[in-house]
């Protein structure tokens, strides 16, 4: 939870002009994690980390779509976030690309980038964030996790009303998924330090857009604190069951 | 194509009363296969054929959800239909149950029937109707092929405006899928002899409902004749490409 | 709530064969109203009641789509149901046809029946069930209330997980809407005495299908009793707010 | 139509770094208007033009969400675009906010901005772009025209496969709508000079994102030339009907 005064205390400060900040001031509000929350890890697949923590512009010829240094910078905070999610025991969803044979006609792809066919391991989940057996993995063909998948019906079935979101890319799958989540009636918290893109400028402008219009961009320590509050209530809940 | 006079020349004649037929007479119209058509084979998986051509009520204890005699009765006409579809070269979609690990939370299922966990081969496509490499297979969790799948975006991408549909069950996945298709703006032709259920009475009343409200129920020879018309135009089309 | 033994104690007894009842016995279960429930009244518009309580087959030439005697038979139980809904204070949704100018291209209609253009009052809500100012009215173009409307996002926003449903027609908008509700992850209770169609046979077979596959068909007194239980807890809840 | 060499000849040149342009070079391709195209004018309502052609940051206190100078700069090119659309005779869709009474629960809104209740004329279409009687107007509650509306079923019904899009705001309703269009299988052309936002920086970065990942951002003269090509074929088409 962050106060209305802290609404602009985020990474976009150095790329947004004073006029733009002023123009968007009517969006300022307290931010928080919503009720009945689930955790969503977007596209934490191997491809995003390939080539190590270099600059994406240097890595791209050999490792297309690698987020390089931005992916690797997010590993430690994302591990902390996952640990808190596990302590809190909330439902966990992952998504990644659908790579099953015969799953689509030619052209049904996430973006219009020309891509060679993927290596089978490209879209496996990165080893630091291996799913647990009770987690659900959504396989998607488009940018948004809601597009052409059963994710929305799963959220309804579980009574989920809010999401904590991390992953990549901010301007692609994270943006498309979180706009859909908001427009479908969910409260969304994006964890800033655990979200990344291939371009820092594009990352920041997209987080700015999302924060003002649709979601609460929050810092990892705020979200971890909230999750630890949920974890503290678990024994009582479980005893009551 | 069938004339308006032939609108009620279908299998439901012996279960619908004269008053009901009269009540539904304002729905009478010519039936046809629509433009820009694709073929959809719904749930032609092994489970529907298990136990052979017996009565479903007898088979059910050992082979839950087998359509028995009704599934086997449809094999020959469905083979004819597939052959005509292949000659015409139209896009082909199959659907079946999603059985990938960790694909859903508990309770996200097609119907409220209590079911034991499926055998791995249960939801493979029946050997008489093996998909070809260019066909698309949609894996679904609910009754309708549109629910929680990328099928609709595939149809849009390919410019499909109409569907020819066969498979099972009439009152379950066929009904849910074809109502969704109609409501999403597509023209739908269900092939009567290639569509089946576990109960003949329920099959007939559902076909009656669908035919009047949403789709054109057509006979297999009508649809095959239409497809052969498309096939006859193929060499010209291919030469023009 | 009804016990598993009472699972077949419904109106379809005289139209379903013993074999069909046996075939569907694996669907038997306790029925109930689910948690976090809202009320949905489907298509209780003037057109359904026009011409009074006659036989639909006699009324249809002058009053197309009137449900006649079946609509009028449901008025008293539906008034009781509405009264209980209001006492319980749960969210209330209505739906009806969208009749705003320029709202659709030609052909985007609920069913394939040929229809003359509607009278402006045809799709107003019947005077016995006038909406209250805090109710939400969903205007739809197709059979299902979920198709092309914001209803699903409203349910998510309010944290609704279950629906109590009444209205018409059983084989049309009620069936399409409740299958969609189930497939989207909601628990659905259809109130038998407050649901109707133009044909009693079709009404009964559709309720049978829905009850076994997707929803809990319940008697009005069971649902009223449940709502009165919710009403009894209201003062405590409101005091706690 | 624009060649692959002209892929970056757009308004974002002065805000995107050379590294970012290089990073996104694998997205470069020819741009074009797709087949079976319809025209979509997003949120050309009075509110966007209020207060005249001033700076939005100055207008906002009195005219919230006015796009001021950016809205007024787009009027002339948008009039040219509309004229070409009318000459070509392609289907035309508008969208605007749904302001019918009792249409939603509290909180089902496009963005999280705090807003006073709208003036009844705020969401009427601006007088320069008055709809014609055969146009379709989609009333939406969220950012995307696809979210909670019948738009997708209308496109399918009409056999539309591509969209030409103009309107506002680039970072809000235009972005959400065009990402949804692409992900639903449509080809999208956004007309640069006829699209606007309240912040020029945000406008440019969003057009950059959209152009590379999902749509073809095109210049108004390119799109007008394409439409005039369609218009030239009309008499032949109409004679052939």
Q: Find chain B residues with C-beta within 8 A of D155's C-beta.
A: 156, 185
Q: How far is C61 from chain D (nearest CA, A)?
A: 29
For residue D95, what are the β-bridge partners? D42, D138
Q: How confident is the model at residue C238 (pLDDT cuts 50, 70, 90)?
A: low
Hey, how many other C-beta atoms are within 10 angstroms of the C-beta on C235? 9
Distance CA B5, CA D205 (A): 60
Position D234 scores a pLDDT of 87
For residue B60, which phi and psi values (nearest 5 degrees)? -55, -40
Burial call C68-97: b when 16+ CB within 10 Å, e when fewer: bbbbbebbebbebbbebbeebebbbbbbbb
Distance CA B92, CA B86 (A): 9
β-strands C162-168, C37-42: how paired? parallel
> Exposure of B189 by Cβ count < 10 A (0-12 exposed, 13-18 middle, 19+ buried)?
buried
pLDDT above 70: residue C236: no
Entry field: residues in chain C:
241
Distance CA D186, CA D189 (A): 10
Inter-chain contact B100–A103, Cβ cutoff 8 Å?
Answer: no
> Exposure of D26 by Cβ count < 10 A (0-12 exposed, 13-18 middle, 19+ buried)?
middle
pLDDT above 60: residue C241: no
β-strands C92-97, A187-196: how paired? unpaired
Hey, how many other C-beta atoms are within 10 angstroms of the C-beta on A78? 24
**Pick from B154, B161, B186: which is nearest to D185 by CB?**
B154
Name the nearest CA neighbour of C96 among C60, C131, C53, C54: C131
Name the nearest CA neighbour of D215 among B93, C167, A143, C137: A143
pLDDT above 70: residue B238: no
Q: Tell me if chain A has a CB within 8 Å of the CB of D184.
A: yes
Q: Are B143 and B172 in contact (CB under 8 A)?
A: yes
Q: Find chain B residues with C-beta within 8 A of C209's C-beta.
A: 171, 202, 206
Distance CA C214, CA B80 (A): 33
Q: Which region among B56-60, D35-39, D119-123, D171-175 has the lowest average model confidence (pLDDT)?
A: D119-123
Distance CA D16, CA D202 (A): 11
User: What is residue D110's DSSP assignment?
Assistant: S
Name the nearest CA neighbour of C195 among C11, C3, C16: C11
Task: Render pLDDT for C161-173 as a digit per residue (tens, 0 to 9).
Answer: 999 999 999 999 9
Task: Render pLDDT for D175-232 as a digit per residue (tens, 0 to 9).
Answer: 999 999 999 999 999 999 999 999 999 999 999 999 999 999 999 999 999 999 999 9
User: What is residue C91's DSSP assignment?
Assistant: -
Q: Tell me if chain D has a CB within 8 Å of the CB of C99.
A: no
Q: Which residues contact C94 (CB under 8 A, 6 or more apart)?
A: C40, C41, C44, C125, C129, C131, C135, C136, C137, C138
Find the helix or strand (DSSP H, E) in which C80 lies.
Answer: helix C75-88
Chain C (29-48) residues lying within 8 Å, Cβ to Cβ, of chain A: 35-36
Q: Which CA distances in Å does D238 have to C221, D133, D144, D233?
A: 62, 20, 34, 9
**Summary mean pLDDT of chain A:** 95
Inter-chain contact B147–C184, Cβ cutoff 8 Å?
Answer: yes
The distance between the two most distant Cα atoms of chain B, rounded to a whole number of Å, is: 56
Q: Are C94 and C85 in contact (CB under 8 A)?
A: no
Percent pLDDT > 70 in chain D is 97
- Record the tokens describing residue B236, joined without a space: 């010209």
Give the residue ranges of DSSP H helices in B12-134: 18-23, 56-59, 68-73, 75-88
- Record the tokens describing residue C153, joined without a space: 């996002």
Chains in contact with D, counting 3 or more C-beta pairs less than 8 Å apart as contact: A, B, C
User: What is residue A16's DSSP assignment?
Assistant: S
Inter-chain contact C161–A156, Cβ cutoff 8 Å?
Answer: yes
Percent pLDDT > 90 in chain B is 92
Percent pLDDT > 70 in chain A is 97
Inter-chain contact D157–B183, Cβ cutoff 8 Å?
Answer: no
Q: Find chain B residues with C-beta within 8 A of D36's C-beta.
A: 159
Percent pLDDT > 70 in chain B is 97
Q: Find chain C residues with C-beta within 8 A of B98's C-beta.
A: none
Tell whether the torsion through CA atoms of C197, B26, C121 and C92 is positive or negative: positive
| Mean pLDDT, residues C151-180 | 98
**Share of chain D residues as helix, strand and coil, in percent rounded to the nearest 5:** 45, 15, 40
**Summary mean pLDDT of chain C:** 95
Position B237 scores a pLDDT of 62
HSE of D86, CA atoms in CB hemisphere, 13 A? 13
Q: Are D199 and A20 in contact (CB under 8 A)?
A: yes
Q: How confident is the model at residue B119 (pLDDT cuts 50, 70, 90)?
A: confident
Q: Are D178 and D150 in contact (CB under 8 A)?
A: no
Q: How confident is the model at residue B68 (pLDDT cuts 50, 70, 90)?
A: very high
Q: How confident is the model at residue D238 (pLDDT cuts 50, 70, 90)?
A: low
Distance CA D93, CA D132 (A): 10
Tell whether the torsion through CA atoms of D210, D215, D219 and D220 is positive or negative: negative
Chains in contact with A, counting 3 or more C-beta pairs less than 8 Å apart as contact: B, C, D
User: What is residue A69's DSSP assignment?
Assistant: H
Distance CA C32, CA C187 (A): 9
For residue B41, what are the β-bridge partners? B94, B166
Q: Tell me if chain B has a CB within 8 Å of the CB of A112.
A: no
- Record the tokens describing residue A168, joined without a space: 């990549």
Task: Render pLDDT for D84-101 as a digit per residue (tens, 0 to 9).
Answer: 999 999 999 999 999 999
Q: How confident is the model at residue A240 (pLDDT cuts 50, 70, 90)?
A: low
Position A236 scores a pLDDT of 67
- Cα angle for residues A214, A219, A220 (degrees, 5° grid): 120
Inter-chain contact C157–D107, Cβ cutoff 8 Å?
Answer: yes
Q: Which of D40, D41, D97, D104 has the most C C-beta neighbours within 10 Å, making it the best mutation to test the interface with C? A: D104
Distance CA D78, CA D41 (A): 10
Q: How far is D220 from chain C (nearest CA, A)?
A: 27
Q: Which of D43, D61, D140, D179 has the most A C-beta neighbours within 10 Å, making it the best mutation to test the interface with A? A: D179
Q: Which CA distances in Å does D21 have to A57, D9, D17?
A: 9, 11, 6
Distance CA A191, CA A11 (A): 12
Position A118 scores a pLDDT of 73
Q: Are B145 and B42 in contact (CB under 8 A)?
A: yes
What order of strands is seen across the sheet that includes strand C187-196? C136-140, C92-97, C37-42, C162-168, C187-196, C216-218
Secondary structure string (H, E, C) spanning A217-239: EECHHHHHHHHHHHHHHHHHHHH
Task: Render pLDDT for C107-138 as a digit per residue (tens, 0 to 9).
Answer: 999 998 877 667 879 999 999 999 999 999 99
Distance CA B83, CA B77 (A): 10
Of all residues in chain D, the one with the smallest CA distance to A208 is D202
Q: Tell me if chain B has a CB within 8 Å of the CB of A148.
A: yes
**Pick from C157, C161, C184: which is nearest to A152 by CB?**
C184
| Mean pLDDT, residues A100-115 | 90
User: What is residue B31's DSSP assignment?
Assistant: B
**Residue A216, SS3?**
strand
Instruction: Report the phi/psi class of residue A25: left, alpha or beta, with left for phi > 0 and alpha for psi in -120 to 50.
Output: alpha
- Cα angle for residues B166, B102, A219 (degrees, 5° grid): 125
Task: Render pLDDT for B87-103 as a digit per residue (tens, 0 to 9).
Answer: 999 999 999 999 999 99
pLDDT above 80: residue D120: no
Task: Render pLDDT for A122-147 as a digit per residue (tens, 0 to 9).
Answer: 999 999 999 999 999 999 999 999 99
Position A235 scores a pLDDT of 75
pLDDT above 80: residue B197: yes
Distance CA A94, CA A139 (A): 9
For residue B66, which phi and psi values (nearest 5 degrees)? -65, 140
**Residue B191, SS3?**
strand
pLDDT above 80: residue D118: no
Q: Are D166 and D191 in contact (CB under 8 A)?
A: yes
């Amino acid at each position: 939870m962050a106060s209305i005064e802290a609404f602009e205390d985020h990474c976009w400060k150095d790329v947004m002009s004073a006029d733009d900040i002023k123009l968007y001031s009517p969006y300022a509000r307290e931010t928080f994690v919503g009720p009945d929350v689930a955790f969503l890890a977007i596209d934490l697949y191997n491809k995003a980390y390939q080539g190590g923590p270099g600059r994406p512009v240097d890595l791209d010829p050999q490792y297309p779509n690698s987020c390089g240094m931005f992916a690797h910078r997010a590993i430690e905070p994302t591990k902390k976030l996952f640990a808190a999610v596990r302590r809190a025991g909330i439902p966990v969803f992952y998504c990644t690309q659908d790579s099953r044979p015969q799953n689509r006609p030619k052209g049904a792809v996430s973006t219009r980038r020309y891509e060679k066919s993927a290596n089978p391991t490209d879209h496996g989940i990165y080893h630091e964030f291996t799913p647990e057996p009770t987690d659900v993995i959504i396989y998607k063909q488009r940018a948004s996790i809601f597009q052409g998948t059963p994710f929305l019906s799963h959220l309804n079935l579980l009574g989920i009303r809010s999401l904590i979101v991390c992953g990549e890319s901010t301007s692609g799958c994270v943006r498309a998924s979180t706009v859909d989540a908001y427009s479908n009636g969910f409260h969304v918290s994006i964890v800033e330090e655990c979200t990344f893109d291939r371009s820092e400028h594009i990352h920041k402008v997209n987080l700015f857009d999302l924060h003002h219009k649709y979601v609460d961009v929050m810092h990892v320590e705020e979200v971890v604190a909230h999750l630890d509050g949920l974890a503290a209530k678990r024994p009582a809940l479980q005893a009551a069951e």
